[in-house]
A and B are shown apart, each in its own frame.
Chain A
Amino acid sequence: MRGAAVLELDHLELVQGPFRLTAHWSAGPGERIAVMGPSGSGKSTLLSAIAGFLPPQSGAVRWQGRDLVGLPPGERPVTILFQDQNLFPHLTIAQNLALGLRPDLRLSPDDRARLEQALARVGLAGLGARRPAQLSGGQASRAALARALLRARPILLLDEPFAALGPALRQEMLDLVDQVARETGALVLLVTHDPGDALALGGRTAFIAEGVVQVPVPTTTLMADPPPALRDYLGRK
């Protein structure tokens, strides 16, 4: 483990009906961690818990030593991108971004300038007045990332937000994530089912098997010699 742990999953136990998931590991500042596992293994559940949508059965989620349990999602040091519905369809792109700065949308001239900058940064300059329905899938993802840039929270949770995009576009998005994370110094947790994404992200990968989120190991090491469960998942003999 590099440096001091900032995100600590301490004997975390999540329960949803008959489903049970445990995790006990930590991550350092600015790390890139891919979360992989078979469909239904609980990848999204883990992110939900970190983001504050699912209170743990037991254990703790700590950030810089402070227990986040009980803190509402919006007050956590977290930005999360869902699989879909990352933008409000009745608001313009600019308004959707502005929500990341000030929920009451009362922007100072300075805020406005930052917003324009963020739009330009993700290649959406001039599209602020559009509504989400007028954007392509890739553009919508960019808009959501631009908001993450504006929010600049130290943890960026990505719950397969680019799953619907083609390979080239997805690569582009991962590059953008990399830049955003670099600029904000964020710790990135990316849920994906594609080992390519995990490798592209760099850093470590936490594999989920049989209700346990394994301690992340460097992705290259993991892929070079996958454990049996991951081997099955990857379809390798």
Chain B
Amino acid sequence: MASRARPLSLAAPALAALLLALVAAPLAAVAWRGAGLSLGPADWAAVRFSATQALLSAVFSTLLAIPVARALARRSFPGRGLLITLMGAPFLLPAVVAVLGLLAVFGRSGLINGALTALGLPPVSIFGLHGVVIAHVFLNLPLATRMILQGWLALPAERIRLAQSLGFTPRETFRHLEWPMLREVAPGIALVILVICLTSFAVVLTLGGGPSATTIELAIYQAVRFEFDLSRAAGLAGVQVALGAAAALAAWTMARPAGFGAGLDRKLALTAPGGWRRGLDGLVLLLAAAFLAMPLWAVVLRGLPGLAELPAPVLPAAGRSVLVALVSASLTTVAALVLALAAARRPSPTIEAAATLPLATSGLVLGTGLFLLLRPFVSPMSLALPVTVLVNMALSLPYLYRILLPEARALQADYGRLADSLALRGLARLRWLVLPRLARPLGFGAGIAAALSMGDLGVIALFAGERQATLPLVVQQLTGAYRIEAAASASLVLVALSFALFWACDAGGRRAGA
């Protein structure tokens, strides 16, 4: 059906092609320059470790998010809105800041070990594979929770009413309503987390505890920086993308559209079962809130003392970062919406790959490849900001796409025919159907994209110019110059600005969607 050319059906393949080119072209450029792809036996150990920690991180983040999201979906309590909003915060922390925040809780002189010592118990160490997984869960659990919560809130009231009228027990509600919803939503979430953890660099290395915690990204670093072995770098990056693609394929086959059908937008919450389940929900929420809030609080405390004497370059750098974030987020939102709407019309493995694989690309190879490709034509320095925006778009689009896809699918299933029969197309369809119905996920996703774009840094090192430092770069320069306190404060500014952008988009979306 509807196979004739309309702008959307052309835009989506074009965008998908652009994204895939952004994955493939730099890799090819690096491989070409390095005359091939090659891998050594030590590299396979790195591949194994990367895959293991990413898989564990994804599984734990997603599984733990389910009870938290359910408790948030079916309980109402003072501070619920605040807790949901705060859920965005950990995800927005730069890796190094997050690690320091976690150490304030789990570290040698952190809260937990303080308590253990006071009780006369031996201290626990956060360094090792478990530490890496804890950090990744800290960073990704909130995102997973928000995305799953979105799924819960999207259960049509009509279906909930039916469940209530049939006298479903919590177990039956889970089986007939919640499980199908999770089946649709969770694989995609786990996929994104797995892929992002696959390329995680600073967290894994800092908390990994030693050279046995060698990831693919570190091996790529070594290949480029110390051996200038570009073929090995390209080989490793290729393996990383292949792993990402395999994970995408797995998630693609596991996910099943729930097919609940449409409702009339009536407000009806799930029955909140009483008894021990009530206590359990409370406990889950309390633990999650503490797990997320304590490190955040530590970040705030670290940053506060230096706020009064922020170094002068922080302000212009912050302005630059906000600008980059706003431009990146707008482009990402448009691109992700186009892809999600197209995929909702007709499932497409190409779009799925295009919206996943950018996350699996090695930052270093992406940067190096773009540098090799662009340098013959233009001065890399003059491209610093455009390249930043492009890379930010490619790296934050997968999140936004995941957030939008289930709701775009529901939109298409529920109202696609009606809209088609009324010739509701183009801008009118966008304005009167898509935007109002997707306002909530769009706001949330745009907020994520904006905040992510505030923090990114790695890829553009090769394009950095003399006076174009963004806020994350200034933070890095401050730490490099021993100014730990100022760096903590600049990080706090970074986190606060990211969070403010996130909050503004998220709240805006919720208001527009209400």
Contacts and interface: CB of A to CB of B under 8 A. Distances in A.
A and B, direct touch (CB closer than 8 Å): yes
A86 B262 CA distance: 11
B414 interface: yes
Contact of B432 (A80, A105, A131): A105
B264 A73 contact: no
Interface in B427-455: 427-429, 431-433, 436-437
B424 A103 contact: yes
A133 interface: yes
Interface stretch (B64-72, B337-345, B415-423): B415-423
A155 to B, nearest CB: 11
A145 to B, nearest CB: 14
Contacts of A79: 421
A73 B414 contact: no
A33 B118 CA distance: 85
A interface bracket (residues with beta carbon within 8 Å of B): 20 to 34
A99 B421 contact: no
Interface string A73-86: 11100111010111
Interface string B255-277: 00000001111100000000000
A91 B423 CA distance: 16
B1 A55 contact: yes
B264 A133 contact: yes
Contacts of B4: 70, 72
B2 A104 contact: no
B interface bracket (residues with beta carbon within 8 Å of A): 20 to 34
B80 interface: no
B266 A88 contact: no
Interface in A61-119: 70, 72-75, 78-80, 82, 84-86, 88-91, 95, 99-100, 103-105
A132 interface: yes
Contact of B421 (A73, A88, A131): A73
Contact of B263 (A73, A89, A91, A104): A89
A15 to B, nearest CB: 13
Given A72-B2, A75-B423, A103-B423, A88 B428 contact: no
A88 B266 CA distance: 13
B417 A95 contact: no
A103 B431 CA distance: 10
Given A85-B262, A85-B415, A89-B265, A72 B432 contact: no
Nearest to A157: B421
Nearest to B158: A84
Contacts of B424: 74, 99, 103
Interface string B391-430: 0000000000000000000000011011011111101110
Which 5 pairs from chain A and chain B are nearest by CB? Answer: A74-B423, A89-B265, A104-B428, A103-B428, A73-B420
Interface of A: 51-55, 70, 72-75, 78-80, 82, 84-86, 88-91, 95, 99-100, 103-105, 131-133, 151
Interface of B: 1-2, 4, 262-266, 414-415, 417-418, 420-425, 427-429, 431-433, 436-437
Given A90-B265, A133-B264, 7 more contacts: A52-B420, A53-B1, A70-B4, A85-B262, A88-B432, A99-B422, A104-B427
